[in-house]
Amino acid sequence: GGPAVRLESPESGSGRRGVGAAPPARRYRLRDGCWVLCALLVCFADGASDLWLAAHYYVRGQRWCFGLTLLFVLLPSLVVQLLSFRWFVYDFAAGTKDGAGSTKDSARGPRGCCRLCVWLLQGLIHLLQLGQVWRYLRTLYLGLQSRWQAEHRRRHFYWRMMFESADISMLRLLETFLKSAPQLVLQLSIMVQQNNIEPLQGLSASASLLSLAWMIASYQKVLRDSREDKMPMSYKGAVVQILWHLFTIAARAIAFALFASVFQLYFGIFIVTHWCIMTFWIIQGETDFCMSKWEEIIYNMVVGIIYIFCWFNVKEGRSRYRMCIYYVITLSENTALTVLWFLYYDRKAISDFDALILVCVVSSSFALGIFFMFIYYCLLHPNGPMFGSHSGGCIFRPRPAPVPGSPTDAVTSPPRSLPRTTGGERDGAPGERDSCVPVFQVRPCAPPAPAARAPRTEGPVIRIDLPRKKYPAWDAHFIDRRLRKTILALEYASPTTPRLQYRTPGAPQEVLEYETTV
């Protein structure tokens, strides 16, 4: 019922196509493990500080504060744990069925006892709301194994580590914007109403803010690391991206808290209206993230929640223009919310000097965030520095089109993918697929000049009967767990690391080849 997948040996594929040479595969470094440990620490700090603050409210008899704080901890955590456990059920059930031959045979003997223990352990882990912690530790384990194992098994563990990193990034991104973002606004609103900042409130708000900024940067880094058509993000760029989102989200959250402390009803209307407009804008852009239409709609609704607080690129193309429009809207909203609060706040509870300080904090925090955004795009963008005499500008430098067969469109690390069909090949120019000579062909008097193509290389190819998704979407083998399971099985059985080949849309000969051979 899923997309067709086929493993070609070098002999079967060499007569029809040339395969681009692959650069050396990326290796798991110690700094990658340190990054995972820091992410785990941020996850722990966010959850523990919220629970500690909820207990503090309960002891002091602040029932409403206790109930809302606990609600924003438990409800998002339950949603994410259910999704994580659902992914485990599918992966483990499919893996044991394929590995054991049949479910009935594998249920007997030592193998059945091991499967039962795994089920009980995973059920207990997710019941205790520790699914993300387990996945972080598993990512760290797979990464270290990819350093210590022999060459072939090292590549296999690296593939599995990348898949696990994608899972935990998507789960944590969902959790932070369902839990940390509303928690941050709630605690800031309580501070403004009480005109007092308690240490636990400040700790909880700071942990929520750091978690939001960290996950946006971490998600973008893992996504770029998984895409072979994009350059990976450096850790310097990731840190600057954290600062960019840290200050812009802080300004946004403080403006929300100030407005909500005076206009509770209108704040709810504003949030719902902003979410509906942003969701409609995202749907109108026709994103291509998920494997089905209803999943795509749910994804767009979740991204609409993210757009309440910060920018999040979801579509390939002129993202800089969409980002400028978003930040102009955000600046206008922050200004309007802060000005309305300044006109109607309770002057008996807050002095004019303190009110001016809060207004300056909102404006300076937003300005700092935009400053770090310029630093990232001008100096630390993965595509190279966008500042200098050769760049033609800073952010608005037009990027050159990739040359077919160039390293930017070739493979850099597993999971590997071949260069896609060029425009000339789709228009009928001789290319890699023209090595299959038709039965009837009118030969010209002079042979045509050969088109530029990538050099041949030996190695098996896993061909997937799907068009490749455009960045910033994940590749289909990261989203579709059936594809992931099949690719891991084929990769493990292959003596050398296979390369992935997606179907090129609009190439009739390629479509015909899939229809007649798969």
pLDDT score of 13: 44
In DSSP terms, 461 is beta-bridged to 8, 499
* Neighbouring residues of 449: CB distance < 8 A, sequence distance ≥ 6: none
Q: Which residue has the tokens 């520095």?
A: 385
> Which sequence spans correspond to the domains of the chain?
28-99+115-211, 234-383, 469-502
How buried is 382 (Cβ within 10 angstroms: 0-12 exposed, 13-18 middle, 19+ buried)?
Answer: middle
pLDDT score of 95: 59
pLDDT score of 365: 97
C-alpha–C-alpha distance, residues 377 and 396, integer Å:
10
- How is residue 419 annotated by DSSP? P
pLDDT score of 421: 41
Backbone angles phi, psi at 375, to 5 degrees: -60, -45
pLDDT score of 131: 94
pLDDT score of 487: 86
Report which residue type is found at 94.
Answer: A
* Dihedral sign (CA 137, 474, 3, 12): negative
Burial code of 40-54, b = ≥16 C-beta within 10 A, e = fewer?
A: bebbebbbebbeebb
pLDDT score of 83: 94
Q: pLDDT tens-digit profile of 293-332?
A: 888 888 899 999 999 999 999 887 777 888 999 999 999 9
Report which residue type is found at 224.
Answer: R
Query: What is the mean pLDDT, run by run of 10 residues, along the chain of 518 residues?
Result: 62 40 61 95 96 96 94 95 93 62 51 86 95 95 89 83 95 95 94 88 96 96 90 94 97 95 93 95 86 85 93 83 93 96 90 93 97 94 65 45 42 44 41 40 47 52 86 89 86 80 69 45
Backbone angles phi, psi at 217, to 5 degrees: -70, -40
Q: pLDDT tens-digit profile of 190-209?
A: 998 888 889 999 999 999 99
Helix (H, G, I), strand (E, B) or coil at 466: strand
* Neighbouring residues of 465: CB distance < 8 A, sequence distance ≥ 6: 3, 4, 5, 6, 503, 514, 518
**What is the helix, strand, coil percentage profile of the chain, to 5?**
65, 5, 30
pLDDT score of 172: 96
